[in-house]
Chain A
Amino acid sequence: SYVLTQPPSVSVAPGQTARITCGGSDIVKKSVHWYQQRSGQSPVMVVYDDSARPSGIPERFSGSNSDNTATLTISGVEAEDEADYYCQVWDSPTDHLVFGGGTKLTVL
């Protein structure tokens, strides 16, 4: 089965840039979506199709996808960005939706 690998945790000071990676075999061939889940809340999509931003999502959220790694970048991190972040793809060969294990972003 297809596996997406994320670092368990990332820490960053306010105003700095956070980068959260998502590794997967030939992930560049897939569309990657990113979700933010604050404590006790439902997930919110912050990036879709590798690098597009849904309406209402701040411009500081951006995404990229190359080689075997997709990356969610949060520029100028704010305290409210502290949350768990998940990458997601659709794996066509298995017809399965796949989530990464999640990354806890801590704002110092």
Chain B
Amino acid sequence: EVRLVESGGGLVKPGGSLRLSCVASGTSFSGFTMTWVRQAPGKGLEWVASISGSSSYISYADSVKGRFTISRDNAQKSVFLQMNSLRVDDTAVYFCSRRADGESYWGQGTLVTVTS
């Protein structure tokens, strides 16, 4: 069974930083692009960032570019999201996900709350 488990969310003040982690199990990892998607309370899904299997290709949403950094450690089957200069509107549940061909996997999400 493929599982993605996120961690690292929490309460942080505006301007602060958090590092989210997502660990995969039950599957190979290095060959797949991994993606972070967030969902603000009561709102829709918003793409945040994606990273290719070899980390050679990385892309960010305009709303987080320059503040967030996506990375991965294939040996640890993990993907990370370093979030700096956090803003109130970054408050959301952050999901890591993987989609390839006819399969899509999502974690349960980790809540990030940015408030003063």
Interface residues of A (CB under 8 A from B): 1, 33, 35, 37, 42-45, 48, 52, 54-55, 84, 86, 88, 95-102
Contact = CB atoms under 8 A, between A and B. Distances in A.
A35 B108 CA distance: 15
B102 A48 contact: yes
Majority DSSP secondary structure for residues of B touching A: strand
A45 B99 contact: yes
Contacts, number: 54
A86 B59 contact: no
Given A33-B99, A48-B102, A42 B45 contact: no
Contact of A48 (B104, B107, B108): B104
Interface string B18-35: 000000000000000001
A42 B109 contact: yes
Contacts of A88: 45
A48 B99 contact: yes
Contacts of A42: 95, 106-109
Contacts of A35: 45, 104
